[in-house]
Structure 1
């Protein structure tokens, strides 16, 4: 089974792709060379059927040639055939019927070149028939076997080739699918491992200074697979290598034990790193050699040489292989691929939406009519309308409109124009011959006045259409900016997920599923779904301390994101890093005298991204209508910020929406936004036409101010984002204009609020109430404008 992945996010995968590009195994010359070299090595692999006979059989080369031939490439057939032929020639003296294998390879290669692939006769069936025939003829003519004996031996050797052929074919098929976007099944990895073991076995008895290259590279392969894939893959490749080398050397039990135990131990210690894994492998190998009485200087040199080569392999090479055979790494890529697919789907939908909005904006804003032709058409319509009213039943109509059409038409135009210029004057021509001059003048007044009203309405509609076009275009551009932020990705943390599962299982905590990831802000988040939810007390006493020790961070339950899935009654608990700070806010407000409802609106509270946000808006005027405008502003800003929009996108989008809302009545609303990161203490202030904000730290007061105009007054807002670093104990005071504008006598830059805060206490509730009381006192007990105070204090989390 293959799972398609998208793993462009990881920088290491990009490096793998660069490495892959340097040596493209799918290039024809590289591919043919590898086929040729593998053919030589597999042709050299032989099996000893009994310990008394020094000569064996070699079915692997024939099986390999058949596995390559099914791809219907004559170049590959020739390359594999020549390679296997050379391999058989190098070990011909070690085979019981070496010439028989040479003849079989020649017959198969020639048949594959001459006979094209047929739908009825598959190449593999043809291959087995040719092998059986070749073995039978060779046995009859060269070995002089009896017919019965010869048939039996031929069938046995042909049947032995069949499973080997299917294993090698499966491995070759899997290698050709080698790609970072696919996941190999266990069967594919086992078959590939067997193929590599056979290739290493093909080195044979080649030595350097009496040290076996086959043993060195066999151990090196086991170490690499064990380190990359873990204990299971290490034991698997060790057993495969032990069986293959043991059959060739008549010492299978020692070979299986040596390679499999070594692979198992190195796989167990793989998480400790290359050096400690190798040290563990060396210790177990020397222990096996000591207890098996095979420990010698030659044995030690071969083991140490394999370990030295393993340490010399660069990390990039390990990465390129690990991404294929390590199940944890591949599962991580699968999860990331799923997230990418969902992200791309949403991005595609939003791109389509922005395209639609852009098209609507263009349609609304485009002028489809030629202004000159439009004016000419309107003039003709006025003349025709006036003539229909006054001349349709006149007895002089034939004389005026039939014989003197041009002169009469121009006279009507002149009459209409004179009225439009407020200097109505009957043309001399009409005054002489028109018998209904009074009716004509009265209808001119009526027609022109009606036309003026209609044109005014059309102009207002055109202005509204252009304004709507502009705002829709602004929203479209805002969505484009959002897509760039939407591409920020979370990182799935499979290693943490595995450790959390293991820890919860040890503590007998029942759960359905666990999902661990790092969000775009670099914070760890853990989602645990369970049926039997025992409340926050159980989590805080049993689960949270366990997770704290695993992550070495202080975690807490996120109440905002934890929820009950109504479809299956499953409770999903969201756990995240505990913030460094927390904030508490209080507000005090009073409406203008004579009003029951205040025109200011506010909100404050935690956001999903680990921040604390305060929003205050002052609507134009006072009363319910101003309250509706300010509440709409607060609601929109809050929803956009919670949805993940940044301050610039939020402000301009809300400005476009409120601009359309305020265009008719020329209203406006202010915005006073501050957002504090509870992990770092960084505060962001955005002020759109709002009163200054005050930050109190001890007896020091800092003023945050901006000169932006309120919503609804400009087409696009140049957002000024002011950043400050807050500390525990700092107090943020946000006020509406009604608080500051009462002290008219203060002509200095310093406001009364600043003076008052420098000596005020630090309790947020009491401070908000006292500021409002002081404002009433300064206004002489008369509240001339809506007054609102929001006081927020930063505390250090325990």
Structure 2
């Protein structure tokens, strides 16, 4: 009831408040864009950072931040370098005029030396830190000499320390400054970039040392706010890292606040651990760390002040908009926001890829339609035949009637009569090879050159028939290309749909499976579910080293079978090579049927190379293919021909193209590849492993036989061998197989190999029915032996027999009832 009331109330609220909220959101976005434009695009953020870095000190004396910052800005955003220089000089002037003059002088020396030496540099980026180092070293020594007129070892050491810090800070600022722009860059930040950004932010905050508001230290408030920010966004690891780095830099700037590093590090760790409590949890972590470190440290007399500074940092943190926190989190690896951003990016890339594949599929579909637009037997074809007849008669009249004195009489005054006579002559010569006496008499009366016209028509008929045959071949080739292009289009279309299928989130199922297995006493390190679709389950697991006891096959797969309600088997297993490692296992749905095969083959005369080739392959679409190819003749050439036929067929079938199109494609290749009269037969059986349905495609091959109990069935089809015709229709014979059926496929050397046999069908059926075994290999060997024995041990032709037995897929281990075990345990 409450839900229904809420559903009724919410639309009313949208009517009254949606417009002001929308205007407020637009106003906030405009304000945000203006702020980004002012600080980031126009570069005034660099002015502010330069001001703070210009007044930042290390050990209360050294100023190593100014020149590295200016050098990095000059190298990365040269147009904004003047703003950065103004900020640095202004910040240094807040300490003393001499510091401002020193900052300007060292910057001027750097610009002069860098511009002069630039033409000899091959890699400015690598050389930049060294220029900063030597400029700071020389500049500080020169400054000390001007002020004191002498140089001591202490001056040299301090100048070396400042120059070394400048060298390191230059490398840090080069990686940090690009992160302050809004240019299009990659979304993720490397760990080094995150640390460099933290160091830069901490260095900037050292410029606030000495500032206070209502007796609260600005640097303490801002540093704790920074730790809160990163602990909330990235967790304990990054939070504690920020605390350590920030506290260390503050300690170098002011040695008296060394305890502050412990406070910030502890606050980052606690805040990150308590981030599940959202902002309140992270704030509680900082407050607890402040109380513990404040009471334990030497600053316990100023505990109230420290707590107030923490409260100010917490107040700023609570006021921070969630949009800013989410935007920062998107750039830090390991955060949910980053994962969502990456997933969105991958989804976009997937959609783009699928769209491109679909476009290619449409292109192939369009090409297929353009090739298949040949003329069908209809009124259009009748018109085409009329035009061809007109062209034919035009060629005849051009050679006979063009120079005849009766041309006007025949074709102007009696056009229809002459046309009909010539058409009738053409038809009779085409069908009977000569004209009837009646037509000859009538034509001689009508035409003065009747004999020459008949001879010309006879000659032109030869060219006419050749042209018709060529046109038919072109149409057949166009149809074959259209079928091939349509097959490729369908495969690419299916592939595009497969790409667009997202991997479903199976977190709940993964937890259930993990819990069920662990309750049973099996330790599982990780479970990843890729698919729970019926008959298409795909699960990966990582388990500890099982010492070869077969836990996956004996325990885990049976339990998964009970949980998922279907038979699950181990598809692949990679065991660890050392005792403390992990095994990676893939579980898949078991097929409803399996196929056991046996093969027997022999070459003519007992040779090594047989003209027969065979192949048994399990295709990825849940089908099992058995193929036999018999090359024309014997020996090496026939062996190569049959072998290449099967290799082409296997590759095309594995691509997902339909069987008919695959066979036509192979036939086209064989017929166009060579002009030699080398042909191949093909006997293909496609067995569906889910329902045991079988499709037989026989191209010039011998019949196959199915043995079911005491009965034997013959499977045959009539087609010429492959490579003879460029276009032919593939006859598909479908049969429903059952568990226990034995399928026998053979080449003509086996089927027609028996001597003194008149009816090969009856002989083969009798021999198959007399067999006392169902083992595929034994059946193949016995059939081969019977044929060879009938020839008195001589092998007169290449012989190949492939036998397959259909079985129910019965797993080695039955399912283990998980629910019953849980009830007993409870």
After TM superposition, the score normalised by the length of structure 1 is: 0.54
Q: CA offsets, 1:178-211, max 9 Å, x none?
A: 8673543322221211111112222222222222
Separation in 1 of the partners of 2:461 and 2:454? 11
How many Å apart are 1:219 and its aligned residue? 0.5
Matched residue, 1:273: 278
Cα 1:199–1:152 change in 2 (3 A) is closer
Separation in 2 of the partners of 1:20 and 1:479? 48
Cα 1:415–1:170 change in 2 (3 A) is same
Cα 1:137–1:291 change in 2 (3 A) is closer
Q: Name the SS of the counterpart of 1:205 in structure 2.
A: coil
With 142-151 and 237-246 compared, the bigger mean Cα shift is at 142-151
Cα 1:492–1:26 change in 2 (3 A) is farther
**1:534 lines up with 2:551 in the alignment:** yes
**1:308 lines up with 2:315 in the alignment:** yes
Cα 1:119–1:270 change in 2 (3 A) is farther
Separation in 2 of the partners of 1:472 and 1:500? 45
Matched residue, 1:320: 327
Separation in 1 of the partners of 2:330 and 2:128? 34
How many Å apart are 1:344 and its aligned residue? 5.8
Matched residue, 2:364: 356
Cα 1:473–1:34 change in 2 (3 A) is same
**1:107 lines up with 2:108 in the alignment:** yes
How many Å apart are 1:268 and its aligned residue? 1.4
**1:91 lines up with 2:95 in the alignment:** yes
User: Out of 412, 415, 428, which is 2:421 matched to?
Assistant: 415
Matched residue, 2:500: 487
Separation in 1 of the partners of 2:359 and 2:288? 60
How many Å apart are 1:498 and its aligned residue? 11
User: Out of 429, 440, 445, which is 1:431 matched to?
Assistant: 445
Q: CA RMSD in A?
A: 6.0
User: Out of 572, 590, 609, which is 1:564 matched to?
Assistant: 572
With 466-475 and 121-130 compared, the bigger mean Cα shift is at 466-475
**1:37 lines up with 2:48 in the alignment:** yes
8 A Cα contact 1:358 1:476, kept in partner:
no
Q: Name the SS of the counterpart of 1:528 in structure 2.
A: strand
User: Higher helix share goes to which structure?
Assistant: 2
Q: CA offsets, 1:554-613, max 9 Å, x none?
A: 96487468512699997634499xxxxxxx9xxxxxxxxxxxxxxxxxxxxxx999xxxx
8 A Cα contact 1:77 1:109, kept in partner:
no
**1:142 lines up with 2:156 in the alignment:** no
Separation in 2 of the partners of 1:278 and 1:124? 40
Q: CA offsets, 1:351-387, max 9 Å, x none?
A: 4344234213213316799998984553242465699
8 A Cα contact 1:175 1:192, kept in partner:
no
**1:214 lines up with 2:219 in the alignment:** yes
8 A Cα contact 2:236 2:271, kept in partner:
yes
Matched residue, 1:688: none
Separation in 2 of the partners of 1:314 and 1:102? 37
8 A Cα contact 1:108 1:127, kept in partner:
no
8 A Cα contact 2:573 2:586, kept in partner:
no
Cα 1:205–1:506 change in 2 (3 A) is farther
Q: Name the SS of the counterpart of 1:324 in structure 2.
A: coil
How many Å apart are 1:78 and its aligned residue? 1.3
How many Å apart are 1:230 and its aligned residue? 1.6
Cα 1:69–1:504 change in 2 (3 A) is farther
Cα 1:296–1:407 change in 2 (3 A) is same
With 77-86 and 464-473 compared, the bigger mean Cα shift is at 464-473
Separation in 2 of the partners of 1:21 and 1:561? 57
8 A Cα contact 1:557 1:573, kept in partner:
no
How many Å apart are 1:271 and its aligned residue? 3.0
Q: Name the SS of the counterpart of 2:585 in structure 1.
A: strand
Cα 1:304–1:149 change in 2 (3 A) is closer
8 A Cα contact 1:216 1:303, kept in partner:
yes
With 363-372 and 317-326 compared, the bigger mean Cα shift is at 363-372
- The correspondence of residues 63-74 of structure 1 with structure 2, limited to 5 A, is 63-71=68-76, 73-74=77-78
* Unaligned ranges ≥5, structure 2: 1-25, 429-435, 578-582, 593-619, 623-653, 663-817, 820-826
How many Å apart are 1:42 and its aligned residue? 1.1
Separation in 1 of the partners of 2:510 and 2:246? 33
Cα 1:448–1:285 change in 2 (3 A) is same
With 512-521 and 102-111 compared, the bigger mean Cα shift is at 512-521
Matched residue, 1:243: 248
Separation in 2 of the partners of 1:516 and 1:376? 66
Separation in 1 of the partners of 2:531 and 2:321? 28
8 A Cα contact 1:69 1:77, kept in partner:
yes
8 A Cα contact 2:89 2:104, kept in partner:
no
Separation in 2 of the partners of 1:200 and 1:495? 45
How many Å apart are 1:306 and its aligned residue? 1.4
Q: Name the SS of the counterpart of 1:40 in structure 2.
A: helix
Separation in 2 of the partners of 1:381 and 1:88? 102
Separation in 2 of the partners of 1:558 and 1:206? 71
Q: CA offsets, 1:372-410, max 9 Å, x none?
A: 89845532424656999xx8xxxxx9xx95544565676
Cα 1:449–1:63 change in 2 (3 A) is closer
How many Å apart are 1:488 and its aligned residue? 3.5
Q: Name the SS of the counterpart of 2:258 in structure 1.
A: helix
Cα 1:113–1:81 change in 2 (3 A) is farther
- The correspondence of residues 466-481 of structure 1 with structure 2, limited to 5 A, is 476=489, 480=493
- The correspondence of residues 248-259 of structure 1 with structure 2, limited to 5 A, is 248-259=253-264
How many Å apart are 1:290 and its aligned residue? 2.7
After TM superposition, the score normalised by the length of structure 2 is: 0.52
How many Å apart are 1:325 and its aligned residue? 1.9
Cα 1:501–1:347 change in 2 (3 A) is farther
Q: Name the SS of the counterpart of 1:564 in structure 2.
A: strand
Cα 1:170–1:475 change in 2 (3 A) is closer
8 A Cα contact 1:514 1:529, kept in partner:
yes
With 276-285 and 186-195 compared, the bigger mean Cα shift is at 276-285
8 A Cα contact 2:110 2:131, kept in partner:
no
With 239-248 and 18-27 compared, the bigger mean Cα shift is at 18-27
8 A Cα contact 2:364 2:488, kept in partner:
no
Separation in 1 of the partners of 2:526 and 2:285? 35
Separation in 2 of the partners of 1:173 and 1:455? 72
- The correspondence of residues 491-640 of structure 1 with structure 2, limited to 5 A, is 515=528, 527-529=540-542, 532=546, 533-535=550-552, 538-539=555-556, 556=564, 559=567, 563-564=571-572, 572-574=585-587
Separation in 1 of the partners of 2:188 and 2:49? 24
Cα 1:416–1:192 change in 2 (3 A) is same
Separation in 1 of the partners of 2:419 and 2:180? 88
8 A Cα contact 1:526 1:575, kept in partner:
yes
Separation in 1 of the partners of 2:424 and 2:357? 58
Separation in 1 of the partners of 2:227 and 2:268? 6
How many Å apart are 1:535 and its aligned residue? 3.6
Q: CA offsets, 1:124-172, max 9 Å, x none?
A: 4444444333323322222333476655554443334323333333433
8 A Cα contact 1:555 1:575, kept in partner:
no
Separation in 1 of the partners of 2:564 and 2:440? 89
Q: CA offsets, 1:8-40, max 9 Å, x none?
A: xxxxxxx9xx99994796999635212111111
With 82-91 and 159-168 compared, the bigger mean Cα shift is at 159-168
**1:82 lines up with 2:89 in the alignment:** no
* Unaligned ranges ≥5, structure 1: 1-14, 49-54, 392-396, 546-553, 577-583, 585-606, 610-642, 658-796
Matched residue, 1:172: 177
